[in-house]
Structure 1
Amino acid sequence: MSKKTTPAKTAKGKANGADKAQAQTTAPTQQPEAGQAAVSYSMSPGLVPRMAKEQFSIAFSSYQSGLLYMLGVQPGGGAHLHQSAQPKPMGLSFNTNGQLTMTGAYHVLRFENVLAPHERANNMFDACFVPRRTHFTGALDAHDIGLDAEGEPVFVNTRFNCLSRPHPRHSFEPVWQPPFISALVNEDRCHLNGLAMDGSDPAYATAISRSDTIDGWRDRRADGGVVIDIRKNEIVCEGLSMPHSPRLHNGELWLLNSGTGELGVVTGLDTGKGTFEPRAFCPGFLRGLSFFGNLAFVGLSKPRYKRFEGLELDERLRKADSEPWCGVQIIDLTNGSCVDWFRIDGAVAELYDVEVLPGATCPMSLSLTSPELADLITYEGMNPTPEA
């Protein structure tokens, strides 16, 4: 039995495969439409065999390109990179129920995988993420997102300096704000961005600074970053450089110290005077962190804009004689080494979030405006559709 749907077109054409053979490390260049720059992809030889053996795929978002990417393995071998056009895709959260939740330009979007384990879309995709629930928030510059005990979204409302959840009538319901923010106001004061969930409870948040004035965070990018314990409502680590993507994993709080290009952990949280301990350096402005076993999946962007420049990362790259990356690096937590990678070159230079999708080896997603979304109808207990 195989559900029939067409992979969504993107702003730059149809989704295409990267790496036709497992040992090939240079992916084909995506052919641009008129007036658009080319984008090329490459990857380490071991990435496809790793995804195939361990049965996972990788989702990552780019607000710059307006695309949600899903990197998986074709049934016959070789990688497949599916892309769907989304309005400013940002934070991603995947749960064990097969739901993928995402913040966007003016909405929070819940995707459901409509395929049963034995079903395939287009005789190829073993997961088809379809938009099923949308809450329109307006432009809140929402960043990271998690799910509470009821499975409802909790997201970082950067524009209003708080954590929020959807409200049935209004744009959002505020649930927490940092202790140094004096008022709920439409001003990005501290650039609250990151959220670490402890199961279904919001546990830690990151901000670029503790500024309580509009846009004040931009003057504190080098060393004003903080980690806030949400439950204690206290700052527990400071002196960071543009921290992003806090995540709890194996009893430790991990985060990306983006201004230095470092993945690491915060030690001494119980004392309230936590210290950032670097575990790995990655050549890029880091945003997006997910874990699978003993591996960390880290998103890298090129620091092309002023808000990313003038940081320690610039000097680290110069000393390493390295250019900044855009892509995903997979870090072995045992020794901090990069064991596999996926790289994007060309017009796409910035990613925001990364999420591992266990159990799905070749996933796809549909955009809100795709004609396939109107044509694809599913319901519980529906009869199998004959193969075409």
Structure 2
Amino acid sequence: MSDSPQPINESPEEAAPADPTTEPLRSVHTTSFPQVLDELGCSVLVTTYQAGKLVVLRNDGGVLNTHFRNLHKPMGLALSGGRLVVGCSVDVWEFHNVPAVCAKLDENEDYPASSAKHDACFLPRRSHCTGDIQIHEMAFSKGEGGREKEEVDLVFVNTTFSCLAKRSEENSFTPVWRPSFIDSYIPGDCCHLNGLATLDGRVSHVTALGETNAPGGWRENKRNGGLLIDVDSQEILLRGLSMPHSPRWYNGKLWLLESGEGTIGTVDLASGKYEPVAQFPGFTRGLSFIGPLAFVGLSQVRESAVFSGIPLVERLEKAEERNCGVWVVNIETGQTVAFCQFEEGVQEIFAVEVLPGIRFPDLVNHDPKIVGSAYVLDDAALADVPEDLRS
């Protein structure tokens, strides 16, 4: 491609290592990446459980600004209106956008930008302890677990217990669905359930890495034991996939990532076939769309038993041939139009989420002064707050 990689503009805080033993987080990007964000009026969130970061990718005067926030093993993301939910190691964190705080960020030297102004600020509002259930993908979904059709719940993939679950007011989680071949709830990661797709506001399809009821059984055939399952019918629509992730409905088509091949493609439900659209130099995981573009997460994947023997590693034998970052592909042509590549500190990505209409957001979970002094009240209570204290 014609665009050459450019160094990313990182502040010292953003470039801090994930822990004292790691190298600084360094990245490069094509000049087209911030241009794409600018033209589409969006930004991108990325989770890396390996580095313990939520990464915000945003345009700042024609340069891609990467913003890192520490979380404990963040994986799944769910966005609904002004709510952002992040699934972490043993808990679920919910953040709400409080736009009134943006002016404080712009005035504060701890939130540097060369020309951009903050237009969203996500502050923590609630957390729920689930225990270590390996939360993977998440979504806000209607009518789950016998609820009324219009009631919306946060549904997440509970990989440890091989089921879909939702938050509970009293318990660690409430199971709402499991594959027909899973006969009980045991903490054994039997099939490595990992991805979910929503259609008309409800979870419609899931991906798993094996059709097995034995703890860890999916590992025996990880190369091509992957499945796509219809949630309502329990029918297995596709078999023989190589470590599939991130199923998504978009523009009337069902997309998914065949991670073990490093591809993105569509599913022909009539024929039961997966049709690749593009192939990448990395383990594809994390997918979000806007306009004609797909933002795809790539992981370098480690030299380990989990990733040995998959087609991607055979195609790109040397670790340095496999990339980590976010690639932008035109889904109509299959051509890569931009990428952001992490060179050090980040090797694995899980979730990628486009924030349409939000150009320069921040998530504040580290600043006790801002979190402690930002009060959100309903309209009735706000009416009794002196006018000079309202934002």
Q: Same fold (TM over 0.5)?
A: yes
Paired residue for 2:50?
A: 64
SS at match of 2:316: helix
Residues 267-318 of structure 1, C-alpha deviations (whole Å, 9 max, x = no match): 1x2x4x6111111001111110000011111000011132122211123335
Show the counterpart of 1:10.
Answer: none
Q: Does 1:108 align with 2:101?
A: no
Aligned sequence identity (%): 37
| Paired AA for residue 111 in structure 1 | F
Local SS of the residue matching 1:314: helix
Q: How does 1:1-388 map onto structure 2 within 5 Å? A: 25-27=6-8, 30=15, 32=17, 35-74=21-60, 76-95=61-80, 97-115=81-99, 121-123=105-107, 124-149=117-142, 150-267=151-268, 269=269, 271=270, 274-304=272-302, 305-317=304-316, 323-367=321-365, 372-380=370-378, 381=382, 383=387
User: Structure 2 CA distance, aligned partners of 1:185 and 1:247?
Assistant: 28
Conserved? CA contact 2:263–2:278, under 8 Å: yes
Q: 1:118 to 1:70 in 2, by over 3 A?
A: closer
Deviation at 1:349, TM superposition (A): 0.4
SS of the counterpart of 1:148?
strand
Take 1:112 and 1:200, find their aligned partners in 2: how far apart are those partners? 20
Distance 2:4 2:239 in 1: 44
- Partner Cα separation in structure 1 for residue 183 and residue 21 of structure 2: 47
Residue by residue, what CA displacement relative to the aligned partner does 1:79-130 show, whole Å, maximum 9, x if unpaired?
Answer: 32111111111011222x1221221111122211100599563243211111
How many positions carry a matched residue from both structures? 360
Residues 94, 43 of structure 1: alpha-carbon distance in 2 compared, 3 angstrom cutoff: same
Secondary structure in 1 aligned to 2:340? strand
The CA deviation string for residues 113-155 of structure 1, in whole angstroms up to 9 with x for no partner, is 1005995632432111112122211111110001023332000
1:319-343 alpha-carbon deviations (Å, 9 max, x no partner)? 9x97111100001011111101111
Find the residue that maps to 2:362 and give its secondary structure.
strand
1:242 Cα offset (Å): 0.6
Distance 1:377 1:118, change over 3 A: closer
Q: Check 1:213–1:371 CA distance in 2 against 1; reply closer, same or farther (3 A cut).
A: farther
Kept in 2, the 8 Å contact 1:131–1:368? The answer is no
- Give the counterpart letter for 1:114 in structure 2: V
- For 1:177 and 1:138, the matched residues in 2 are separated by 19
Letter in 1 for 2:78: S
Q: 1:156-188: CA deviations, max 9, x gaps?
A: 000000000111100111110001111111211
Alpha-carbon deviation of 1:369?
Answer: 7.9
Alignment root-mean-square deviation, CA: 2.5
> 1:26 is matched by which residue type in structure 2?
P
Q: Deviations over 1:176-229 (max 9, x none)?
A: 000111111121100000010113211000000011101111111111000000
CA–CA separation in structure 1 for the residues paired with 2:184 and 2:29: 46
Structure 2 distance, partners of 1:300, 1:113, is 28
Tell me if the contact between 2:8 and 2:66 (Cα under 8 Å) persists in the aligned partners: no
1:35 positional shift: 3.7
Gaps of 5+ in 2: 108-116, 143-150
Distance 1:98 1:261 in 2: 33
Secondary structure of 2:8's counterpart equals coil
Q: Cα–Cα, structure 1 residues 370 and 349, in superposed 2: closer, same or farther, change >3 Å?
A: farther
1:367 Cα deviation after fit: 2.4
Distance in 2 of aligned mates of 1:248 and 1:332: 16
2:176 aligned partner, one-letter code: V
Q: d(CA) in 2 for partners of 1:45 and 1:244? A: 29
Distance 1:206 1:161 in 2: 11
Secondary structure, counterpart of 1:52 in structure 2: helix
Instruction: Tell me by how many angstroms 1:372 deviates.
Output: 3.8
TM superposition shift of 1:38: 2.2
What's 2:114 paired with?
Answer: none
Q: TM-score, normalised by structure 1?
A: 0.86
Tell me, in whole angstroms, the C-alpha distance in 1 between the residues paired with 2:62 and 2:4: 10
Is the alpha carbon distance of 1:85 and 1:118 closer, same or farther for their aligned partners in structure 2, counting shifts above 3 Å?
Answer: closer
Name whichever of 230-239 and 147-156 sits farther off: 147-156
Change (3 A) 1:25 1:384: farther
1:24–1:286: structure 2 CA closer, same or farther, 3 Å change rule?
closer
Displacement, 1:386? 10
